[in-house]
A and B are shown apart, each in its own frame.
Chain A
């Protein structure tokens, strides 16, 4: 239930002559009892950030506050990790292999000199919530990945920590176990009200669990906000792509007298009615996610096929015709890959059926899901998007 504040956090590795900034100028706040997510690609620096919050790494510069109390400042740990009352679930769970699951969960309580009776009561309570009663006497090595994770969670929660840290906790689980684990975690968090931070590279972890998210890329904080904020209004291309796969098409927009000329280089030129904005022309990158595209075969109209999402309010724009390359299977749908342009760029579309290679398909895009980014800086241009919808 602790509130966390980070001010100007920096982490430098390497020699003075050749420093590597793993983290640069990171500042944000985590509200008490909230579920906070840190999202970033591998190597972006998110695990380093979590370890700094835990106290396993010392920030080279900047301050860390727990509830307005300084725990790290000026390159020193004022409160060491042993005293921060943090529970942490490591990516590989880091259970003590030579102790039974019961003893694993009991370990932090033994350190705090709890009586055996109190320890037993606590573990019974936790094992009920987490469903691990039957495996308490086993060793971690004798239980499955999902069970080990629940034991690790129990150990992290046993001492009633004020902060719970989850470092990529689901990456070692298979798809089904992942969903069970996610719902377990979110229920516990609501029930106990413990401030929880999850670090992950998987956007679905973030979307299913976090109330607020910080997006880290190359050691820098790009954007914070709720998951839907980030999804609908990403600050730039980096944020948009970190949140999920997105097609990026180079293009050109020209606005004049009620018309928008939208050129998708290598695909087509589209003319749309637009009553918005003054005249301007700009080099842009058009971003559209595979799930917001649809395709039809044999030149059929979109509305006539099952591909049309009749529940959506968005209008479908026809982008053009392209030839397919490969179709990849992913969790119940197919990712159909088409090729366009002189550089043989790819445009990926989610489809309910696999399309054989070399076929001609017509691509449609949802008008309200097209994101427009500046062609040079990659920054999000909401004004042009409004123009698109007007």
Chain B
């Protein structure tokens, strides 16, 4: 009997040990991100990446002033996209939820497929389109392009979150005489609010981190996003890596902060995105 409990306890702690070790490994890049972004020049030249050294904010400051513009640009592009995609996506999702028809199912299928196909394949047509409309290399052009790709994602995610709303509650509102807009405003939005937050955050992070679309659609340096600006910090030998890490850190700071504070919403969004259900 005693042997058994010992084995059970050993197994349990073994699981914890394995998990903690693997988790520590997973954590290394972020650790490096913070530690190395704060290194002094001497620290960079004398210590390897994984070993910490004296703290200084100088790298962060230098890089920060260079990235300040791009970070503001990112905010300006990404916020409207996330808001519009979530809100209009919710409206589309409500419509799908309410009306079950062949057309709706088809559109929904097309949207799901479009969300998962690599968006890069639309490269050439996308450029042609934005050039022909005259919005290439402009704020509107980038927002427009983002919406093309992320509005369907918003509709898809909100459909998943709406699916768990009890149908009788919405029917009750119809019996009470409420029209669609009233139902959407007074019942759907309040009841699906956590889902809206998940969708909003998911799209916010995905668009902020998107490298390809801004790379391709923005050519002027002053309109670049933070992530695209980051590319110039990859550098080869001889580059001081504290700049690179500081750049990586600062350009990721918005998604990272959101993840730390509202991480569970992002995770719910991920689960919904993959499994097609609330998990």
Instruction: Indicate if the CB atoms of B169 and A94 lie closer than 8 Å.
Output: yes
Decide: A83 near B176, CB < 8 A? Known: A94-B169, A97-B191.
no
Instruction: Indicate if the CB atoms of B191 and A108 lie closer than 8 Å.
Output: no
Instruction: Indicate if the CB atoms of A90 and B177 lie closer than 8 Å.
Output: no
In the complex, A54 has a CB within 8 A of chain B: yes
Instruction: Indicate if the CB atoms of A54 and B191 lie closer than 8 Å.
Output: no
Decide: A90 near B171, CB < 8 A? Known: A98-B191, A111-B182.
yes
Residues of A within 8 A of B182 (CB): 111
Please, which residue of chain A has its CB at the minimum distance from the CB of B170? A94
Contact with A along B145-173 (1 / 0, CB 8 A): 00000000000000000000010110111
In the complex, B15 has a CB within 8 A of chain A: no
A94 to B169, CA, bound (A): 5
In the complex, A383 has a CB within 8 A of chain B: no
Residues of B within 8 A of A54 (CB): 175
In the complex, A88 has a CB within 8 A of chain B: yes
A293 to B132, CA, bound (A): 89
Decide: A82 near B174, CB < 8 A? Known: A94-B168, A94-B169, A96-B169.
yes
Cβ < 8 Å to A, chain B residues 177-208: 177-179, 182, 186-187, 190-191
A298 to B181, CA, bound (A): 73
Q: Of the candidates A86, A90, A155, A156, which one forms a contact with B168 in the assembled complex, judged by CB atoms under 8 Å apart?
A: A90
Instruction: Indicate if the CB atoms of B171 and A56 lie closer than 8 Å.
Output: yes
Please, which residue of chain B has its CB at the minimum distance from the CB of A51? B171
Please indicate which of the listed interface residues B173, B177, B179, B191 has the most CB atoms of chain A within 10 Å of its own CB.
B177
A210 to B40, CA, bound (A): 87
Instruction: Indicate if the CB atoms of A81 and B168 lie closer than 8 Å.
Output: no
Cβ < 8 Å to A, chain B residues 9-23: none
Please, which residue of chain B has its CB at the minimum distance from the CB of A167? B168
Instruction: Indicate if the CB atoms of B177 and A94 lie closer than 8 Å.
Output: no
Please, which residue of chain A has its CB at the minimum distance from the CB of B171? A56
Instruction: Indicate if the CB atoms of B176 and A155 lie closer than 8 Å.
Output: yes
Residues of A within 8 A of B187 (CB): 96, 98
In the complex, A362 has a CB within 8 A of chain B: no
A312 to B177, CA, bound (A): 52
Please, which residue of chain A has its CB at the minimum distance from the CB of B167? A94
How far, in Å, is B137 (CB) from chain A's closest CB? 45
Instruction: Indicate if the CB atoms of A92 and B166 lie closer than 8 Å.
Output: yes
A92 to B171, CA, bound (A): 12
Residues of B within 8 A of A97 (CB): 169, 191
In the complex, A107 has a CB within 8 A of chain B: yes
Q: Of the candidates B177, B179, B190, which one forms a contact with A108 in the assembled complex, judged by CB atoms under 8 Å apart?
A: B177
In the complex, A87 has a CB within 8 A of chain B: yes
Instruction: Indicate if the CB atoms of A94 and B171 lie closer than 8 Å.
Output: yes
Please indicate which of the listed interface residues A82, A88, A97 has the most CB atoms of chain B within 10 Å of its own CB.
A82
Known: A86-B175, A107-B178. 8 other contacts (CB 8 A): A56-B174, A82-B174, A82-B178, A87-B175, A90-B171, A91-B168, A107-B173, A108-B177
11 chain-A/chain-B pairs, Cβ below 8 angstroms: A82-B175, A88-B175, A96-B172, A96-B173, A98-B190, A107-B176, A108-B176, A111-B177, A111-B182, A112-B177, A155-B176
Residues of B whose CB lies within 8 Å of any CB of A are 166, 168-169, 171-179, 182, 186-187, 190-191
